[in-house]
Amino acid sequence: MDAHKAYRFWLENSYFDEATRDELKGIMDNPKEIEERFYKDLEFGTGGLRGIIGAGTNRMNKYTVRKASQGLANYIAKQGENAKKKGIVIAYDSRHKSSEFALEAARVFAGNGITTYLFDELRPTPELSFAVRFLKTAAGVVITASHNPKEYNGYKVYGEDGAQLSLEGTNAIFKEINAIPDITNVNLMDVEEAKKRGILKIIGKEVDDEYISRIKTLSLNSEVIKRVSDSFKIIYTPLHGTGNKLVRRILSEIGFKNIIPVKEQENPDPEFSTVKSPNPEEKSAFSIAIELARKEDVDLIIGTDPDCDRVGVVVRNLDGEYIILTGNQTGCLLMDYILSQKKLKGALPENAFVVKTIVTTELGRVIADHYGVEMIEVLTGFKFIGEKIKEEDEFGNKKFLFGFEESYGYLAGTFSRDKDGIVASMLIAEMAAFYKAKGMSLYEGLQELYRKYGYALESVSSFALEGKEGIEKINGIMRKLRETKPVSFNGNVVAAVRDYMARERYEIGTGIRQALNLPRSNVLYYEMKDGAWFCIRPSGTEPKIKIYFGVSSDSESGASNELKKLQNNVFNVIGDMLKS
C-alpha cells in the first residue's frame, strides 16, 4: 500500500468527517506517523481487529469498523437469506468509542438487510458469546480490546456456536474485506430508520436474566456458602469495565452477603484512571483493592478485566501478605475443585474431558490424570477451547467440564463458548468458601494442591516491539531460531522441539519426527532434558513476542531455583536477538 497516497485520499475525500480530516492535517509534516497509520490496513486476524484508536487505515476508527462490518455482512449474506434473518448480536465494553463503533457496525448490518440485536448498554464479552447461542444468531460482534492500554480498541467476531471465529471463518471474512473496492464502499442505514423497520432490535434484561440463571446451574456447593456467608468477605473490582453488575449479581444471588466493591473502580471509565494497566494479571491493578482488604480483613479479592473475560485472584499467604495468584494456579485450583466435587457427588462422567492450551501448566495434566479425566491440549487462544467443546461435546460423545489458559481465562459449562469472568468469579468465590468451611484459606488450598501433585512454577515474559520495525524484528527472531536450531540454551539442553508452523515434533538425540495434529501456528516449543520447557510465540493481539516457561520439582524452593535458571539461560540467548 502506498501510505502517502492513502493519506491524501482520506485527507481530501468528503466521505471522512471533519474531525478525522483535522486529525490527519495535524500529522501532515510527520512522514513517519503517516507511514505508521497508512502503510497497511489494520489486519483482520485470529479474532478480528485490534489497534490504536485514530484516523488511518492501520487504526481503529469508525471507517475501519464499517469496512470490517461490510466484509462480515457479505460473509453472512453468502450463507443465504436464513442466515440474514437469524442475524447478528453486538455488544461493547467501556473503552473510548466502543458505543460509537457498535452503532456503526449495527448501521452496516442493517444496511445489508441483516437482523441486528444490539445491547442497550455495555456488557461483558462472555455474555455476547452466550447471547449468540441464546438468540440463535448467525454471528456476534463485541467491541473491545480486552485488557490492552486505553489507546486501543478492537472488533471481535463470534461464530454461530458462540465461540470466537474459526480460522476458516476468519480467512473467509478476511477475503471478503479485501474484496471491497475501497473503504467508502459500504451499505449504511440510519439507526432510527433501522429501529422503525424492526431490523435493529435493542436487547438487555431478558438476556441477562437467562444468562445468570444458566450460571447458577454450575454451582457445586451452595451449602458451604450458607455456612460461611455471615463472616466471609469478598472485595470485587471490575477495573472500570463491564463486570460490575453481573459479577456482583451472581455472587449475591448464590448466597454471598459481604461483597465489597472498590468504589474508585466500579464505574466504567475509558481512561482506566486508577491503574497503569487494566490487567488483572498485574498486582499493581489491585493496589486500591489490597489497601481496602487490609482495612476490611477480607478473605478474597476478585478482579476482572474491562470486558470481563479474564479474572485475577488475590489472597493472603501464610505471612498475611496479599499476593496475586497466577492464571495457572487459579486454573489448577478450579480444576481440582470441580473434578473432586463431581467425583464426591457421583457426578463425574466416564467420558469427561478438560482442556488447556500448550503454554498452560503441565500440572493441569497431572490433576486430570488423577481423576481419570482426559486432558486435551490446544493452541494458545480460547477460541481453540471453544472449538473442542463443539467437536467433542456438542457433536461428539464426550462431556466438557473445564477449560483454562495461563492468561487468566477459565470456563465451565457449555452455554458460553469463551473464557467467562462471571462464571469463574462465582466458582472462585464458592471454592474459597469451601476451603474456609474446612478451616483453610485459598492460599493454604494451593499449598495442599502442590503437596499432593508436586510443585510447578511457570512464568511469561513479554517484549513489546512497536510498529512496522517491531513486527519485522519479531518475525526475524522466529526465523533465526528455526534456521539455527539451537540444541541448548546456556546449559539447558533441548530434548525435543515442537514447531507448530511445520506441525512437527523433532527429537534432538534420536532424530525421530512426529506430526503435530494442531493447526499451523507460528510457535516454537522447547522440551528440555531436565523436564522443564519454554515456548516462544508472537502475540496474536498485541505487537509483542512472548516467552513462556515451566518447571516442576519436589519442593517450592527447588522449582523456584529451576525457573530462575531456565529464564536466565534462555534470555542470554534470545536477549541478543532482541537487541540486534
pLDDT tens figures, 370-399: 999 999 999 998 999 999 999 999 999 999
| Mean pLDDT, all residues of the chain | 95
Asked if residue 68 has pLDDT above 80, the reply is: yes
Measured from the Cβ of residue 70, the count of other Cβ atoms closer than 10 Å reads 24
Asked whether 326 and 406 are in contact (CB, 8 A), the reply is: yes
Which residues contact residue 156 at a Cβ distance below 8 angstroms, ignoring those fewer than 6 apart? Answer: 47, 48, 50, 125, 141, 142, 143, 144, 164
Query: Which domains are delineated in the chain?
Result: 40-211 (3.40.120.10), 223-452 (3.40.120.10), 456-579 (3.30.310.50)
HSE of 580, CA atoms in CB hemisphere, 13 A: 10
Q: How confident is the model at residue 474 (pLDDT cuts 50, 70, 90)?
A: confident
SS (H, E, C) 384-451: HHHHHHHHHHHCCCCEEEEEEECCCEEECCCCCCCCCHHHHHHHHHHHHHHHHHCCCCHHHHHHHHHH
Backbone angles phi, psi at 105, to 5 degrees: -60, -45
Asked if residue 472 has pLDDT above 90, the reply is: no
Asked whether 140 and 157 are in contact (CB, 8 A), the reply is: yes
What is d(CA 425, CA 428) in angstroms, rounded to the nearest whole number? 5
Q: In this predicted structure, which of 245-254, 459-468, 490-499 has the lowest mean pLDDT?
A: 459-468
Asked whether 41 and 1 are in contact (CB, 8 A), the reply is: yes
- Burial bucket for residue 144 (CB in 10 Å: 0-12, 13-18, 19+): buried
pLDDT of residue 541: 62
Strand partners, 51: 153
Which residues contact residue 72 at a Cβ distance below 8 angstroms, ignoring those fewer than 6 apart? Answer: 88, 109, 139, 141, 157, 173, 176
Q: How confident is the model at residue 334 (pLDDT cuts 50, 70, 90)?
A: very high
Asked if residue 350 has pLDDT above 80, the reply is: yes
pLDDT of residue 580: 66
Strands, E, within 137-228: which ranges? Answer: 139-143, 152-158, 200-203
CA angle 542, 468, 53 (to 5 degrees): 55
Q: How confident is the model at residue 540 (pLDDT cuts 50, 70, 90)?
A: low
Mean per-residue pLDDT, 195-203: 98
The type of residue at 495 is: A
What is d(CA 209, CA 507) in angstroms, rounded to the nearest whole number? 53
| Dihedral over alpha carbons 411, 417, 419, 424 (to 10 degrees) | -40
Mean per-residue pLDDT, 107-129: 98
Active-site residue, 146 included: yes
Mean per-residue pLDDT, 422-427: 98
Backbone angles phi, psi at 262, to 5 degrees: -85, 105
* DSSP-derived secondary structure letter, 53: B
3-state secondary structure of 475: helix
What's the full length of the chain, in residues?
A: 580
Which residues contact residue 264 at a Cβ distance below 8 angstroms, ignoring those fewer than 6 apart? Answer: 274, 288
Mean per-residue pLDDT, 516-520: 92
Q: Name the maximum alpha-carbon separation found in the chain.
A: 71
CB environment 75-97: b (16+ within 10 A), e (fewer) = bbeeeeeebbebbbbbbbbbbbb
HSE of 259, CA atoms in CB hemisphere, 13 A: 25
pLDDT of residue 466: 73
Residue 462's alpha-carbon distances to 76, 306, 384, 522, 542, in angstroms, are 37, 20, 22, 16, 10
Q: What percent of the chain has pLDDT over 70?
A: 99
Asked if residue 491 has pLDDT above 80, the reply is: yes
Q: What is the pTM of this model?
A: 0.94
Mean per-residue pLDDT, 242-261: 98
What is d(CA 427, CA 5) in angstroms, rounded to the nearest whole number? 54
- Per annotation, catalytic residue among 94, 146, 407, 416: 146
Strand partners, 153: 51
